[in-house]
Amino acid sequence: MDFHPSEMQRDLRDLARKIFEEQATPDRLREIERGELNFDDQLWGELARANLLGIAVPAEQGGMGQGFPELAVLVEECGRAVAPVPALPTLVGAALPIARFGTGEQRERWLPRVATGEAILSCGLAEPAGGDPLAPTTRAARDGAGWRLSGSKLGVPFGAQAERVLVSAANEAGVGLFLVDPVGAGARREDLISTAFEPQVLLALDGAVVPAADVLVAPGPDGDAAARWTLERVQAALAAMQLGVCDRALRMTAAYTSTREQFGRKISTFQAVGQRAANAYIDVECLRLVVQHAAWLLGEERPASDEVSIAKIWAGDTGHRVSFAAQHLHGGMGVDVDYPLHRYCLWAKQLELTLGSSIDEIDRLGARIAAAS
């Protein structure tokens, strides 16, 4: 098992980082934040022109045909730049399942437009009541050749801009995956204010109509497996994004403490500062290892439930500890909204909240280990 990046992964990282460094500057981010929508369509277009939006789109649909580890590299770089683009919901939450489980017609309808940046898609797996996302309370009922869905999905990223939202819903046969038109009959969106100001909606479904052409996987054993497959990749991608956020926040902190002087000395030479930074460094590198492990297993289509859980736990806890340490070591600069660090702290907190309770995940992981022993 070798976690060193492949040549392709290094090239993708270099290209994505170059675009983000040129386009997602602090001044540009500030400009976008002051607009009506925290979405940089120019940056989205640049990523499309570089074919980075097509990393995991099959070659026959105009993409690169790469796997999940390569896509995780792009998501990590999005986090490193705190880039206001819908890379995770579109590319991971929707396009990956369409490529894996969709019909030929569904793949041809959506994936070429995803690769060119024309289509924004999203994914809604979380629900207001919380609980296990693999046991959704949103219900699916047959309606002729199609289905009707009733329930709600919480915190759907870019749900007001998406042409379709991939949602999970269940009946007595099991879980299914559906591509819901968020402006279609029976669907209603309510704008939400998120921690990092990412545009999100509450998607309420009251008998929302899903025609047969928009059914990705019908409820049943195949749908259960597809829902788990999708959830694991979304959670691993959230952990990869958290890795990018934390890595960049730590590097900003190292640069700041290496130049800030107190009592005639660089504060990085103070023992307490060095210990705090060293703990954050260990957190980030441990997160890097578990993210790479989970991404590699998922890319190989191997069982990875435990490894994804471990990455999820580390991502939530690392985001909390590293953002707190970065703000603390920056002093007053850490909370100055004219200084870029605050964005990383907000993103780290939102990703921690999106991933959910680490304690609950540890309980679930422990129960699986005990059952297997």
Q: What does the pLDDT look like over 237-263, one tens digit per residue?
A: 999 999 999 999 999 999 999 999 888
Single-letter amino acid code for the residue at 187: A
Going from the C-alpha of 132 to that of each of 35, 40, 149, the distances in angstroms are 36, 33, 18
Class at the top of the CATH hierarchy for domain 7-118: mainly alpha
Q: Are 54 and 16 in contact (CB under 8 A)?
A: no
pLDDT at 373 over 90: no
pLDDT category of residue 236 using cuts at 50, 70 and 90: very high
What average pLDDT does range 128-154 have in this prediction? 94
pLDDT in tens, 166-199: 999 999 999 999 999 999 999 999 999 999 999 9
pLDDT in tens, 336-348: 888 999 999 999 9
What is the pairing mode between strands 164-171 and 121-124? parallel
Q: What is the pLDDT of residue 332?
A: 87
Q: How many CB atoms lie within 10 A of CB 228?
A: 15
Q: Are 142 and 158 in contact (CB under 8 A)?
A: no
pLDDT at 19 over 70: yes
What average pLDDT does range 103-115 have in this prediction? 98
What average pLDDT does range 298-318 have in this prediction? 97
Q: Are 122 and 157 in contact (CB under 8 A)?
A: yes
Any idea how long the chain is?
Answer: 373
Q: What is the pLDDT of residue 129?
A: 83
Q: What is the DSSP string of 286-310?
A: HHHHHHHHHHHHHHTT---HHHHHH
pLDDT category of residue 3 using cuts at 50, 70 and 90: confident
What average pLDDT does range 347-360 have in this prediction? 94
Choices 2.40.110.10, 1.10.510.10, 3.40.50.300, 2.40.50.140: CATH for 123-218: 2.40.110.10
Task: Using the Cα atoms of residue 63, residue 66, residue 72 and residue 74 in order, give the sign of their dihedral.
Answer: negative
pLDDT in tens, 54-71: 999 999 999 999 999 999
Burial label, 362 (beta-carbon count in 10 A; 0-12, 13-18, 19+): middle
Closest listed residue to residue 41, CA positions, set 27, 56, 24: 24
Q: What is the pLDDT of residue 1?
A: 66
CATH tag, 223-372: 1.20.140.10
Going from the C-alpha of 149 to that of each of 97, 146, 164, 228, 345, the distances in angstroms are 19, 10, 14, 20, 36
Q: What does the mean pLDDT of the chain come to?
A: 96
Q: Tokens at residue 293, please?
A: 């492990």
Q: What residue has token string 């919901």?
A: 89
Q: What is the pLDDT of residue 264?
A: 85
Q: Are 313 and 358 in contact (CB under 8 A)?
A: yes
The contacts of residue 109 (CB under 8 Å, 6+ apart) are: none
Single-letter amino acid code for the residue at 266: K
Q: Would you list the domain boundaries of the chain?
A: 7-118, 123-218, 223-372
Q: What is the pLDDT of residue 86?
A: 98
Q: Please give the Cα distance from 207 to 204 (Å, whole number).
A: 10
Closest listed residue to residue 170, CA positions, set 131, 223, 132, 208: 223
For the chain, the distance separating the N- and C-terminal CA atoms, rounded to the nearest angstrom, is 25
Q: What is the pLDDT of residue 281?
A: 97
Closest listed residue to residue 165, CA positions, set 107, 191, 197, 204: 204
pLDDT in tens, 26-59: 999 999 999 999 999 999 999 999 999 999 999 9
